Amino acid sequence: MLVLENDWLSISFDEDRGAIKRLYDKQREIEYIPRLLDADPFRFEINERTMADFQHFSFRELQFDQERHGYEFTWAISDQITMTAMIQLNSDTNEIYFDSDVSNESDNEIYSLEYPIIPNIGEITENGQDDYLAHSFATGVSIHNPMVNFTTEWNGLRFMPYPEGFSGATMQFFSYFGQGKGGLYFAAYDGESYAKWLNFYKNENQLLEASFIHGYEDIGPFKGINVSYPVVVKLLDGQGWYEGADIYKTWATQQYWCQKGPLAEVDESEKCDWLLEEMGVSTFGINAGSDRTQWFQTHHDHLKTKMFHILGPDWTHQIQSFGSGVPGGLDDWFPTKFNQKNLESMASYGDKYAPFEFDYLFNVNGADGESGKKALQRIPAEKSIDAYKFSLICPAEPYVQRFHIERDERLQEEANVDSIYYDISANNILKICMDESHGHPKGAGRHITMAYRENYIKTKEAMMKKADLSYIPMGTEMMNEVFLDILDYYQARAGAQPAAPLEGWNIRELMKSGEAELIPMFTYVYHEYGPVRLDGWGKLVEEIGDLFYFTVARTYLWGGLYELNYEYSPLEAIDGVENTGEEHYYPFEPQGYPFSPRRAEYISKFAHVRTGVGNKYLAYGKMLRPLKFDCKKVNLCWAHYNCAKNFKEYNDSGELTVDSIVHSVWESPGRQIGLFFANVSNEDQEITVNPAGYVQGKTTAKIHVDGKFVELVEELSTLTLSIPQKSVLLIEI
């Protein structure tokens, strides 16, 4: 065995192959690889074929200085292809650094390298009962006992691309830990946005495996792979998913995507004040081309807040719909078909709106069809859980770059939009294109990411210039960290699971059983830098069930705006009338569910907190670790009909057991602490909390219920709080 060790850990490698055979936490006496089994030291994808074969392996010890030592491993894949890895361990840290490089002097094409592979990981706690995987998939998920819940039918999070917010990794880390015992943190410290995959899955030995795949940057004969960033494996204490997130945040907030700084410090010319401070609710998918003023009025009568509307796609000259067609070039997009009554109605309430665009979909049989065909993005198969079956155009292709700017500049000129929203855009498309005729290398991972960024930047500048405005916010479907400094909001759906479709569908059964759940991982790392999350996938009807109350509370208390969604189903029935499928962009089934004033008034409480006393926390604040306290569990029913009729989620229903108190803790830019508690049950509740950890010296606290001040408290050691049913309580320290 080849061994690297210090007082914290020991890692061993097979001296015949260089595969990892042992990873041992000396302080906690945890064997993370409990069995000596065969494992691949790496995997290559050469000429579209994955392999782990090599001709010869050699190694040499390295002594960088008195504090750092390690190994250099060399694998001769063939006479002309060589892989080199450098593994480094510092004497005073509990983390290992892996660097790797592939030299190719052959006419073979090397697509990707999977390294390091940490194989055959076992349970941490007894039978895995307190083991969890925390991954940035869907902006943050926690999966309980992956040894049990990863199966031969679904082996876990394999082929998880980055930067890809829908089917992959929104950040470059994940952790596997046993609560209260120990764990492992895995991260790539890449500040340049290269394509990679962050994987944690069950291997052929039916044990757990972590790996990183690198590549698809510049593929061709005599071209190798230089992984210009380290992969880090670090020991954890097992103190929940926040532990790994804290480690990652220290690195991540120093990268270019946080270059503008916290939103509270950003100049008004580089952020959207009305979105951050004035909007209490968002909607998604209300028809742009048909009169919906009756619903705007009814919503405002009960929600009593300004609203941000992402209108449906039915505003283009040629059809833009779900499943029935999309526009091609500019002549298919214009002139626009916005219903002027809608625009006037929204403006009268102080609302803002954005039109929906299928951003990188293109009808190659429509206007500019030949240009569209030449620009089609060519994506390799089997590198994601998404098949990317759409006709997508490559963001680096010159026609696409011109088209993106000209389309939205003209839209701004015609419709004077308040914002722009992109569906099927950078955050849910694999950053790879294999067509070199577009002017980029084959693969082009980082090149594609930077092209998306450049298109966003130049399009936003053109729209602002056309409107003579200082700032126009831009949003997308889903989010990834590399676009934080450019985008202002994103639409998500995972917060409403299991009463929602799309992201998270591969772990939906685990979410229904409670074995997996959404965690605010992305929010915890980045919230004070933006962007705003729109989530909830809700309706103002009783028929969707009581999980609605939990979802609303969690969305707001995690810093988001609740979204009323009307993409695949009708608006609420008012006086027995709902909008028809003939006027919509998806052929939904009539429902007839009446508008519920009670549900609107519940949302209104949170909207009032969001735009009022809680704004400095929920819009601009930094999320902190929550308090620990005991509260009752409640069983909440749910029903889901707002999705495509061919989705297996359509008309699904069930019951979910959740905490009756939703809770979060925030620090404002002024260093005040806000403790939020929402009672989602049908009865008043008392809980006991101790906020002493957030108190420095003698201080007082203000208590607000539903945004209204009710009490001043001077003793902050232990508090017994009475929280009314269906209400939100804020303690300001």
Give residue-wise pLDDT tens across range 1-12. Answer: 999 999 999 999
Which pLDDT band holds residue 512 (cuts at 50, 70, 90)? very high
- Read off the pLDDT of each residue in 138-155 and give the average, rounded to a whole number: 96
Assess whether pLDDT exceeds 90 at residue 724.
Answer: yes
| Percentage of residues in the chain having pLDDT higher than 90 | 95
**Token couple for 185:** 């943190």
Assess whether pLDDT exceeds 90 at residue 622.
Answer: yes
- Read off the pLDDT of each residue in 374-402 and give the average, rounded to a whole number: 94
Close Cβ partners of 491 (under 8 Å, ≥ 6 residues apart): 284, 310, 421, 423, 475, 476, 477, 478, 534, 535, 563
Q: What is the CATH number of the domain that holds 403?
A: 3.20.20.80
How is the chain split among helix, strand and coil, in percent rounded to 5? Answer: 25, 35, 45
- Under DSSP, is residue 172 helix (H, G, I), strand (E, B) or coil? coil
Same domain? 484 vs 445:
yes
**How many CB atoms sit inside 10 A of residue 661's CB?**
22
Same domain? 318 vs 190:
no
Indicate the pTM of the whole model. 0.97
pLDDT of residue 700: 87
Same domain? 10 vs 53:
yes
Same domain? 242 vs 328:
no
pLDDT of residue 32: 98
pLDDT of residue 63: 86
Q: Is residue 53 part of a domain?
A: yes
Residue at token pair 């209108």: 311
Q: Which domain holds residue 290?
A: 280-621
Same domain? 603 vs 694:
no
Please state whether beta strands 352-354 and 306-310 pair in parallel, antiparallel, or not at all (unpaired). parallel
The average confidence (pLDDT) of the chain is 97
Residue at token pair 């260089």: 18
Same domain? 485 vs 571:
yes
Assess whether pLDDT exceeds 90 at residue 149.
Answer: yes
The string of DSSP letters for 228-294 reads EEEEEEEEE----HHHHHHHHHHHHTTSGGGTT--GGGS-GGGS-HHHHHTEEEEEE---SSS--HH
Q: Let me know how long the chain is.
A: 733
pLDDT of residue 158: 97
What span, in angstroms and rounded, lies between the C-alpha atoms of 602 and 303?
8
pLDDT per position as a tens digit, 33-46: 999 999 999 999 99
Same domain? 243 vs 291:
no
547 vs 293, 492, 680, CA distance in Å? Answer: 29, 17, 9
| Percentage of residues in the chain having pLDDT higher than 70 | 100
pLDDT per position as a tens digit, 540-596: 999 999 999 999 999 999 999 999 999 999 999 999 999 999 999 999 999 999 999
pLDDT per position as a tens digit, 354-387: 999 999 999 999 999 999 999 999 999 888 999 9
| Domain count within the chain | 3
- Read off the pLDDT of each residue in 290-299 and give the average, rounded to a whole number: 98
Assess whether pLDDT exceeds 80 at residue 528.
Answer: yes
pLDDT of residue 469: 85
Q: Is residue 450 part of a domain?
A: yes
Q: Is residue 725 part of a domain?
A: yes
Assess whether pLDDT exceeds 90 at residue 303.
Answer: yes
pLDDT per position as a tens digit, 656-696: 999 999 999 999 999 999 999 999 999 999 999 999 888 87
Residue at token pair 């509307």: 309
CA-wise closest residue to 425 among 490, 496, 484: 490
Same domain? 301 vs 423:
yes
pLDDT per position as a tens digit, 117-143: 999 999 999 999 999 999 999 999 999
